[in-house]
Homo-oligomer: A and B are copies of this chain.
Amino acid sequence: MSFFSARVCIIGSGLIGGSLALALKKAGAVGEVIGCGRNEATLHRAQDLGIIDRFSTDMTQAVQGADIVLLSVPMLAMRGVLEQIQPTLQPGMIVTDVGSAKQSVIADAKAVLGDKLGQFVPAHPIAGTEKSGPDAAFAELFAQRRVIVTPLAENSEADVARVVAMWKCVGAVVECMSAEHHDHVLAATSHLPHLLAFTLVDSLARMDESHEIFRYAAGGFRDFTRIAASDPTMWRDIALANAFEIKQVLKRYQGELEALQHDLDAQDGQALFERFQRAQAAREGLKF
């Protein structure tokens, strides 16, 4: 099998899976894309949009003959999918995923795949928008974005290289690290901010003056609400899957808010200024 005639089966044809399919096609890096999911209407839509070439709602059938199987479903659905495809996996087939937390899906794979565990190469593209579904998919989603691969001891170098190559050919910058480290960093950089935004929007929406609050939403709050438009199921699953790491960094943040509350109480302008200035300096040190 050559890379460019590969048959890719995408389980879950939403924003991420759909965008990867479009990007692989645009790069001429895929022979056929088979879609798979529970919702037939969504699969039809994905086919109409040219994301997938054909589809099946039967997982065993969809996976048949695939070179790469991409799991692009919410974290808590991963285990069920792995259970269903396990018997169908042939030698040489690679299974990979796009989950935002890695230790949880690896634990699922270890529990389910048995001696086929080595065929599962975990990965996470750090890309997305607040939209979801096949209509939100676009080929350029991964251009210049980072993809983290967290290989298992059981993976062959060739299989890892193949997953890395797939992401590189859609324009991503690929890096490898341990699943533990990934989950620790992503809890801070992505999971906590999303949970804070969801919580703020929910909190204000339930205030008596919520109508007015949303009406006078200024720059700051608008950005929060954009984040909070993200898919609730996906984020529930991420929160549960990476709860341990999220709780650590949330606890730290709660401590910082106590300090903020204290500075406001004490009218400590110097402490407030220093906090805001450190944040501004950190932002300026970023290369976005």
Given the complex of chains A and B, what is the CA–CA distance between A109 and B45 in angstroms?
62
Interface residues of A in 145-185 (CB under 8 A from B): 146, 148, 184-185
Return chain B residues, CB-CB under 8 Å to A233. Answer: 273
Please determine whether B253 and A199 come into contact, CB atoms closer than 8 angstroms: yes
With A and B bound together, what is the CA distance between A282 and B288 in angstroms? Answer: 30
Chain A: interface residue total (CB-CB under 8 A): 91
A213-B188 CB under 8 A given contacts A195-B260, A240-B269, A272-B239: yes
Contact A254 B264 (CB under 8 A): no
Report the separation of the CA atoms of residues A253 and B185 in the bound assembly, to the nearest whole angstrom.
Answer: 24
Chain A positions 201 through 245: 1 when the CB is less than 8 Å from some CB of chain B, otherwise 0:
111111101101111111111111111111111011101100100
Cα-based distance from A186 to B204 in the complex (angstroms): 12
Contact B240–A199 (Cβ < 8 Å): no
Q: In the bound complex, do residue B194 and residue A220 qualify as a contact, i.e. CB atoms below 8 Å apart?
A: yes
For A206, list chain B residues within 8 Å (CB).
Answer: 278
- Chain B residues with CB under 8 Å of A130's CB are 219
Complex CA–CA separation, A272 to B190 (angstroms): 17
Decide if A129 is an interface residue (CB 8 Å cutoff): yes
Cross-chain contact B247 with A128 (CB below 8 angstroms): no
From B202, B218, B247, A261 is in contact (CB under 8 Å) with: B247
Report whether A257 and B261 are in contact in the complex, using a CB–CB cutoff of 8 Å.
Answer: no
Cβ contact within 8 Å between A228 and B272: no
A218 nearest in chain B by CB position: B190
| A199 partner residues in chain B, CB cutoff 8 A | 253, 256-257, 260, 275, 279
CB proximity to B under 8 Å, residues A248-271 = 250-254, 256-258, 260-261, 264-265, 267, 269
Are B236 and A273 in contact (CB-based, < 8 A)?
Answer: yes
Closest residue of chain B to A76 (Cβ to Cβ) is B269
Q: Which residues of B contact A139 (CB under 8 A)?
A: none
CB of A193 within 8 A of chain B?
Answer: yes
Give the residue of B229, B253, B256, B276 whose beta carbon is less than 8 angstroms from that of A283.
Answer: B229
Extra contacts besides A202-B256, A202-B276, A247-B265 (20): CB < 8 Å: A76-B269, A126-B218, A189-B204, A195-B260, A198-B275, A199-B260, A201-B279, A201-B282, A202-B278, A203-B253, A205-B282, A214-B286, A223-B223, A225-B282, A225-B283, A229-B284, A232-B279, A233-B273, A253-B257, A257-B257
